[in-house]
Amino acid sequence: MSNILIVFAHPEPKSLTRQLVDLAAETLEAQGHKVAFSDLYAMKWNPVYGPDDFPNQLDPERLNFVAESGHAYRSHTQPPEVLAEQEKIIAADALILQFPLWWFSMPAIMKGWIDRVWAYGLAYGYKGAGNRYRYGEGGFSGRRALISVTTGGPAIDYAPRGINGPLEELLFPLTHGSLFFPGMDVLPLHAIYGTGHITAEEVSAAKEAYRDRLLHLFEETPISYRAQNGGDYPNRHTLADTVAPELTGINAHIAV
């Protein structure tokens, strides 16, 4: 049995987003897993990361987010709602982020959840070692992550030459940055396209496809992002000249 945290963002309880969350819970619990939830809109989650996150500020004259985040995390003085979410993610063996694509990214409330919960000393600055443990190592190592996203536009818009650009590239800052950076094993995206004009039959088919993904949540092979400390980045910043020399940009950071 594993612990799974589902974080989701949609203000409408009858939305397809919520239906997929319910489907995930039903499927995973039937396998014997324990499922926890963070319904960000129902929680009225405050997405604004600011001075209120540091009630015992080290330097009252100037707000340094990195220094104050580390101090608040180490001294256990973070706001109670942040501590509660950190406890959920620390207890989880897998994280599922469920959201609709809004303006080519996640809803602001979910971005604010990451901003506030991913503390220095936990998600970055792990072990007080700066950037020594990142991109494949860190406080969230050993956990899997799955992004399940719905789009209003059709799949063709997100094809390799589609007008919106591939979804994998649009969400690279989330998959490679927010999730792989602190050490998670990130699974390939799960997307349901064209929800702006989806039929009941298409919803049923999409749910079955998602159910099948969830049944193999702990068997799937993660995206083969290159680890910072695996030898591909000898200076921990740029790829070695001998690694994928024909590639630049996002694709260079994925081993094939």
CA 117 to chain centre: 12
Look up residue 139 and give its DSSP letter.
Answer: T
pTM: 0.96
**pLDDT string in tens for the chain (256-residue length):** 899 999 999 999 999 999 999 999 999 999 999 999 999 999 999 999 999 999 999 999 999 999 999 999 999 999 999 999 999 999 999 999 999 999 999 999 999 999 999 999 999 999 999 999 999 999 999 999 999 999 999 999 999 999 999 999 999 999 999 999 999 999 999 999 999 899 999 999 999 999 999 999 999 999 999 999 999 999 999 999 999 999 999 999 999 8
Q: Where are the domains of the chain?
A: 3-222, 226-256
Q: Which tens digit of pLDDT belongs to each residue from 126-165?
A: 999 999 999 999 999 999 999 999 999 999 999 999 999 9
Residues β-bridged to residue 120: 124
Residues β-bridged to residue 8: 39, 98
* CATH topology assigned to domain 3-222: Rossmann fold (3.40.50)
Rounded to 5 degrees, what are φ and ψ at 36? -115, 155
The answer to whether 19 touches 207, Cβ cutoff 8 Å, is: yes
